[in-house]
């Protein structure tokens, strides 16, 4: 029978993937790649950029094209059988890539090209491939002794398995909890759309009444609207103790030991490479030059934000006492009271806005916005093999009708789907058999699903999430860089990778943008002027508190990876408590085990890099300020952003590309202004 994972001439055939063949297929590709690389290196004593990179691109592409749909399905349609096969492959893939980056012969081949006359004839992108590779060799211990290489490889392999287990524990803990309600009185305060969503969830499980889960749309709705304080507390406790020894799961999916092992392994990796700590190792290939630069940047933002945040929280506490009869505000009251206060001060609520944001209108409006900015058009392609009935597939074309990229859009929360929102690479751009292989993206969210036959109604936060992920997707899909290793988001410094995504969020706040993405579900009316004014006035509601929350996460992450094995370090929890005491204005209860579900740093790519969100937000706010000066749909400025940022991938340093677009180095002023903190 044909093996769907080996067919790289078409899009992935998700429904034809035989789970039982996954491990054997991936292992086979790895073995073939190792043999091909060894044969290539043994049969050459002089290397050219073209022959070396083409060989490596072919190998990397064959493996990533097979693994990408497997990894993706494990995140969006998780099953026990798939998970077992996925987890068999993870350490093998880690070992393969570590071996590649420690291969002395391969390192010599790159180094020979770097020293050759040919190097001077290469363009920026091709030179960047060489420079990035040489740095990667260094960061993966190519110069280590054989004994230390073995140690390094084992640590990397262990880490890959630990990270996968961490993420699975979070998913399992999220899926394991729900609250089934049969008495309507317990739904007090919840809007109709939340009640309808919970009723549909119960019906899907063949239950009477209403079912509430820890999936984002359900959890956030309860925390924002429920008048039943005990209900909010129960949901909060379950959510903030996910994958920990506390809470309703009784330690069943506990990540405590896994977190220790993950950070410990990272510190060992750093020490083997003669770095003081993992944070120092982490920034070796980022825009930030020193760990002090990162901490100074974050602490400066804390200093600018905390006085206002204290005032915001004092206002919230006073309102809670006076209007909500909550004498002592607790963590599970904050979202609820904040929504009440926001309605009082600005006369606007997410519930009031939702009818104006039907998902189909938001999507069509998003496509119109990027059409005006970048002269591209997006159309849906039918009859594509997909993994779930809600998934749609689209194609991006330029003004001449040339296809630039394609993407899958999987918008809604459901069972057996990892929480959060993300863009991932399905296929990367490269020249393959003398033809350009077009980039394809996965755009995945966990937004509020449709209820019954009506389209999904999104809140404004969900709309900005969609725009954010689409920004990532544009950088992947609109790249014009052909070398695989610097096309799209590849080779982009991690603390700059959030620039295109945060940049796209700005159009969710602009009147001209909102007119394109709103249409009342019943009347078809665009967002009226009075609601628009209220939305803008409320934009920076509690902005300092929100800023501090992100800074708390960033400082905790960075210090954890700096201090884990120092004499002063006591425990992960004690460090988080210390950071909160210095940074936060809302101190959560002792039961809160947020870190046990902090997938960004323990399972994702943001270890000692969560600060990247704020670092890149400086870039994105400053980049958007040029549109504010020239016009938010100014075609010339859109063309400049397209050519300087989106099309260039990782072919040049991010700071150089930013300066080319903005005409100067980035300034923090626009971020402070946009956040209402000046």
* pLDDT at position 45: 84
Among 275, 272, 278, 282, which residue's Cα sits nearest to residue 151?
272
Band of residue 1 on the pLDDT scale cut at 50, 70, 90: low
- Between CA 472 and CA 504 the distance in angstroms is 9
Res. 678: pLDDT tops 80 = no
Told to judge if 647 belongs to the known catalytic residues of this protein, a careful annotator would answer no
Burial of 146 (0-12, 13-18, 19+ CB in 10 A): exposed
Query: Are 649 and 490 a contacting pair, CB within 8 Å?
Result: yes
Please name the residues in contact with 596: beta carbons below 8 A apart, sequence gap of 6 or more.
170, 241, 242, 243, 244, 254, 255, 256, 259
Backbone angles phi, psi at 380, to 5 degrees: -75, 140
Q: What is the pTM of this model?
A: 0.96
In the block, tokens 């391969």 appear at: 106
Q: What is the DSSP letter of 185?
A: G
In the block, tokens 């925390």 appear at: 223
pLDDT digit string (tens) for 146-197? 999 999 999 999 999 999 999 999 999 999 999 999 999 999 999 999 999 9
Query: Are 94 and 53 a contacting pair, CB within 8 Å?
Result: no
Query: Are 417 and 77 a contacting pair, CB within 8 Å?
Result: yes
Res. 394: pLDDT tops 90 = yes
SS3 636: helix
* pLDDT at position 129: 98
Tell me which of 55, 469, 505, 552 is the catalytic residue: 469
Band of residue 418 on the pLDDT scale cut at 50, 70, 90: very high
Band of residue 377 on the pLDDT scale cut at 50, 70, 90: very high
pLDDT digit string (tens) for 451-490? 999 999 999 999 999 999 999 999 999 999 999 999 999 9
pLDDT digit string (tens) for 117-134? 999 999 999 999 999 999
The pairing of strands 430-432 and 392-397 is unpaired
Helices within 116-252 (DSSP H only): 117-121, 124-139, 146-176, 192-204, 216-225, 229-240
Can you read off the two tokens belonging to residue 310?
Answer: 């204290």
**Mean pLDDT across the stretch 40-57?**
93
- Between CA 136 and CA 128 the distance in angstroms is 12
Res. 116: pLDDT tops 70 = yes
Among 567, 667, 571, which residue's Cα sits nearest to residue 624?
667
User: Residue 445: CA atoms inside 13 Å, Cβ hemisphere, count?
Assistant: 23
User: Residue 13: CA atoms inside 13 Å, Cβ hemisphere, count?
Assistant: 12
Q: What percent of the chain has pLDDT over 70?
A: 100
In the block, tokens 């249409």 appear at: 519
pLDDT digit string (tens) for 245-281? 999 988 899 999 999 999 999 999 999 999 999 999 9
* pLDDT at position 393: 98
Q: What is the DSSP letter of 645?
A: I
pLDDT digit string (tens) for 298-355? 999 999 999 999 999 999 999 999 999 999 999 999 999 999 999 999 999 888 999 9
Helices within 538-611 (DSSP H only): 543-563, 572-583, 599-602
Q: What is the DSSP letter of 19?
A: G
Query: Are 285 and 494 a contacting pair, CB within 8 Å?
Result: yes
Can you read off the two tokens belonging to residue 415?
Answer: 């069972």
Strand positions, DSSP E, 573-616: none
- Between CA 427 and CA 489 the distance in angstroms is 12
Across all residues in the chain, what is the average pLDDT? 97
Res. 442: pLDDT tops 80 = yes
Can you read off the two tokens belonging to residue 482?
Answer: 């052909």
Band of residue 433 on the pLDDT scale cut at 50, 70, 90: confident
H/E element, 28? helix 22-42
Crossing angle, helix 654-662 and helix 612-630, to 10 degrees? Answer: 20
Can you read off the two tokens belonging to residue 563?
Answer: 């201090």
Q: What is the DSSP letter of 353?
A: H
SS3 334: helix
Among 400, 406, 445, which residue's Cα sits nearest to residue 428?
406
SS3 content of the chain, % helix, strand, coil (to 5): 60, 5, 30
pLDDT digit string (tens) for 527-576? 999 999 999 999 999 999 999 999 999 999 999 999 999 999 999 999 99
Query: Are 404 and 436 a contacting pair, CB within 8 Å?
Result: no
Among 109, 112, 110, 103, which residue's Cα sits nearest to residue 140?
103
The structural domains of the chain, ordered by start, are 4-101+103-139 (1.20.1050.40), 177-240 (no CATH), 257-347+542-605 (1.10.1370.10)
CB neighbourhood size of 170 (10 A): 23
Query: In DSSP terms, which residues pair with 407 in a beta bridge?
Result: 394, 441
Q: How far is CA 148 from CA 152, 154, 273, in A?
A: 6, 10, 9
- Between CA 580 and CA 574 the distance in angstroms is 10
Query: In DSSP terms, which residues pair with 394 in a beta bridge?
Result: 380, 407
CB neighbourhood size of 565 (10 A): 14
- Between CA 492 and CA 128 the distance in angstroms is 11
Res. 44: pLDDT tops 90 = no
Query: Are 235 and 219 a contacting pair, CB within 8 Å?
Result: yes
Q: Spell out the SS3 assignment of 39-108.
A: HHHHCCCCCCHHHHHHHHHHHHHHHHHHHHHHHHHHHHCCCHHHHHHHHHHHHHHHHHHHHHHCCHHHHH
Please name the residues in contact with 506: beta carbons below 8 A apart, sequence gap of 6 or more.
513, 620, 624, 627, 632
Please name the residues in contact with 392: beta carbons below 8 A apart, sequence gap of 6 or more.
380, 386, 408, 409
Query: Are 595 and 576 a contacting pair, CB within 8 Å?
Result: yes
In the block, tokens 């990892």 appear at: 418
Band of residue 291 on the pLDDT scale cut at 50, 70, 90: very high
Band of residue 384 on the pLDDT scale cut at 50, 70, 90: very high
Q: How far is CA 306 from CA 396, 443, 558, 582, 615, in A?
A: 43, 35, 19, 10, 18
């Amino acid at each position: 029978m044909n093996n769907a994972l080996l067919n790289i001439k078409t899009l992935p055939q998700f429904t034809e993937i035989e789970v039982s063949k996954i491990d054997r297929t991936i292992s086979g590709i790895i073995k073939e790649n190792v043999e091909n690389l060894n044969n290539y290196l043994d049969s050459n004593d002089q290397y050219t950029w073209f022959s070396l990179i083409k060989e490596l691109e072919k190998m990397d592409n064959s493996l990533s094209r097979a693994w990408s749909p497997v990894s993706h399905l494990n995140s969006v349609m998780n099953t026990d059988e798939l998970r077992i096969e996925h987890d068999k492959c993870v350490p093998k893939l880690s070992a393969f890539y570590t071996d590649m980056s420690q291969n002395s012969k391969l390192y010599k081949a790159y180094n020979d090209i770097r020293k050759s006359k040919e190097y001077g004839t290469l363009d920026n992108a091709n030179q960047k491939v060489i420079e990035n590779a040489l740095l990667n060799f260094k960061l993966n211990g190519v110069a280590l002794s054989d004994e230390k290489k073995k140690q390094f490889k084992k640590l990397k392999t262990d880490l890959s398995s630990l990270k996968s287990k961490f993420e699975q524990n979070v998913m399992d803990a999220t899926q394991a909890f729900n609250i089934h309600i049969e008495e309507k009185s317990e739904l007090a305060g919840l809007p109709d759309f939340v009640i309808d969503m919970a009723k549909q969830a119960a019906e899907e499980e063949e239950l009477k009444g209403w079912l509430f889960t820890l999936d984002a749309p359900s959890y956030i709705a309860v925390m924002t609207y429920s008048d039943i304080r005990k209900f909010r507390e129960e949901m909060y406790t379950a959510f903030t103790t996910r994958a920990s020894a506390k809470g309703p799961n009784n330690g069943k999916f506990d990540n405590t030991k896994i977190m220790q092992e993950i950070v410990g392994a990272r510190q060992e990796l750093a020490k083997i490479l003669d770095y003081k700590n993992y944070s120092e190792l982490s920034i070796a290939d980022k825009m930030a030059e020193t760990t002090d630069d990162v901490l100074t940047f974050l602490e400066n933002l804390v200093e600018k934000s905390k006085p206002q945040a204290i005032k915001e929280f004092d206002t919230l506490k006073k309102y809670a006492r006076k209007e909500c009869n909550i004498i002592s505000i607790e963590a599970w009251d904050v979202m609820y009271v904040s929504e009440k206060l926001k309605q009082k001060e600005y006369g606007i609520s997410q519930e009031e806005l939702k009818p104006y944001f039907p998902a189909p209108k938001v999507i069509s409006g998003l496509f119109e916005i990027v059409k005006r900015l970048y002269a591209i058009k997006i159309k849906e392609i039918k009859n594509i093999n997909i993994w779930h009935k809600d998934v749609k597939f689209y194609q991006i074309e330029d003004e001449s009708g040339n296809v630039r990229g394609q993407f899958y859009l999987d918008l809604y929360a459901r069972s057996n789907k990892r929480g959060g929102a993300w863009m991932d690479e399905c296929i990367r751009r490269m020249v393959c058999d003398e033809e350009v292989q077009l980039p394809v993206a996965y755009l995945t969210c966990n937004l509020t699903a449709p209820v019954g036959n009506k389209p999904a109604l999104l809140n404004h936060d969900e709309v900005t999430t969609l725009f954010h992920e689409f920004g990532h997707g544009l950088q992947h899909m609109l790249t014009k860089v052909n070398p695989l290793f610097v096309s799209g988001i590849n080779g982009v410094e991690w603390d700059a990778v959030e620039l295109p995504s945060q940049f796209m969020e700005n159009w969710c706040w602009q009147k001209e943008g909102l007119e394109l993405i709103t249409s009342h579900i019943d009347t078809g009316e665009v967002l009226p002027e009075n609601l628009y004014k209220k939305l803008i006035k409320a934009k920076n509601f509690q902005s300092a508190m929100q800023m501090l929350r992100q800074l708390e996460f960033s400082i905790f992450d960075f210090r954890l990876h700096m201090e884990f094995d120092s004499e002063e370090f006591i425990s992960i929890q004690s460090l988080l408590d210390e950071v909160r005491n210095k940074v936060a204005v809302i101190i959560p209860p002792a039961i809160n085990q947020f870190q046990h579900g902090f997938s960004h740093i323990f399972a994702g790519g943001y270890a000692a890099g969560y600060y990247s969100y704020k670092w890149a937000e400086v870039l994105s706010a400053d980049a958007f300020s040029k549109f504010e000066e020239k016009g938010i749909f100014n075609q010339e400025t859109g063309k400049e952003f397209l050519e300087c940022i989106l099309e260039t991938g990782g072919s040049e340093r991010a700071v150089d590309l930013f300066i080319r677009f903005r005409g100067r180095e980035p300034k923090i002023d626009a971020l402070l202004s946009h956040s209402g903190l000046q």
